[in-house]
Structure 1
Amino acid sequence: MNEDQSKNLSREERLAAKLRENLRRRKAQGRAISSESDESGVSKGET
């Protein structure tokens, strides 16, 4: 059972790392989109 717990912990750590990586990527994409709309003169509320 102790071996299973260590496997689950490493799996949880891997998942946590993937989530952090995904969050960083999505924030970067959001900033890129925001800067593009700022450059074009269109605010977030306008379509």
Structure 2
Amino acid sequence: MARDTAPQKQPTEAQLREARLKAALKTNMARRKAQTRARDAAVPEDADDNKDSGPGRPEQES
């Protein structure tokens, strides 16, 4: 017995666009997660002590 399969329909422009956007979003999220992991790994643990000081803010004296 042979199986009858319907021919595949070509996706519409909207479906193609949605697939492209979905792939781009997935890549961007992966890149941003990797950047966040790299930043977290590069920051020393005692760096949180100076959160309030920065450009435009005076140094805090303890």
TM-score in same-fold range (> 0.5): yes
Shift of 1:38: 3.4
Mark the structure with the bigger radius of gyration. Answer: 2
Indicate which of 34, 42, 47 corresponds to 2:47: 42
Unaligned runs of 5+ in 2: 1-9, 54-62
Q: Which has the higher contact order (CA 8 A, sep 6+)?
A: 1
Unaligned runs of 5+ in 1: none
Deviation beyond 6 Å, 4+ runs, structure 1: none
| Number of equivalences | 42
What is the TM-score when the length of structure 2 is the normalising length?
Answer: 0.55
Query: Which has the larger helix fraction?
Result: 1
Deviations 1:1-47 (A, max 9, x none): xx8x71100100000000000000000000000000037x424x836
- Cα RMSD (Å) of the superposition? 2.3
